[in-house]
Copies of this chain bind each other. A is one copy, B any other.
């Protein structure tokens, strides 16, 4: 994919944005788009991350998930260090094209979270004595 493809089209109308066939991802003021990643077969929600135009272009080019790490402020080829590469099986975009949904299969040990869990969403919010409290249900 050429460098020029890191520039994506801008939808010309709301109709085009919501009903059209032109992929016109809308990046926020920080140049990021929200990305929800689920496991392609189980449907499990693995993580929520962000892509800038370059990460999105690299994802489309390579078929593997690339994100923008907001904490490290750098392009992040998911799994490059851990071996937990994410092969993209499907990408969806929402109505106003400011969120992406990646369905992936995970290489390595199948994990996703840096804490070692399969999913980043290992804690449940419950009410205890009227106050919210977190419970772990994936060890």
What residues of B have a CB within 8 angstroms of the CB of A113 in the complex?
A: 94-95
Min CB–CB distance A39 → chain B (angstroms): 11
Task: State whether the Cβ of A83 lies closer than 8 Å to any Cβ in chain B.
Answer: no
Per-residue interface assignment for chain A, residues 55 to 87, with 1 indicating a CB less than 8 Å from any chain B CB and 0 otherwise: 000001000000000000000000000000000
Known: A23-B132, A34-B34, A60-B132. A125 touches B48 (CB 8 A): no
Q: How many copies does the complex hold?
A: 2
Question: Of all chain B residues, which has the CB nearest A113?
Answer: B95
Question: Of all chain B residues, which has the CB nearest A50?
Answer: B34
Min CB–CB distance A68 → chain B (angstroms): 14
Contacting pair A122 B95 (CB below 8 A): yes
Interface residues of A (CB under 8 A from B): 18-23, 34, 36, 38, 43, 45, 47-48, 60, 90-95, 99, 101, 113-115, 117, 120-125, 127, 132-136
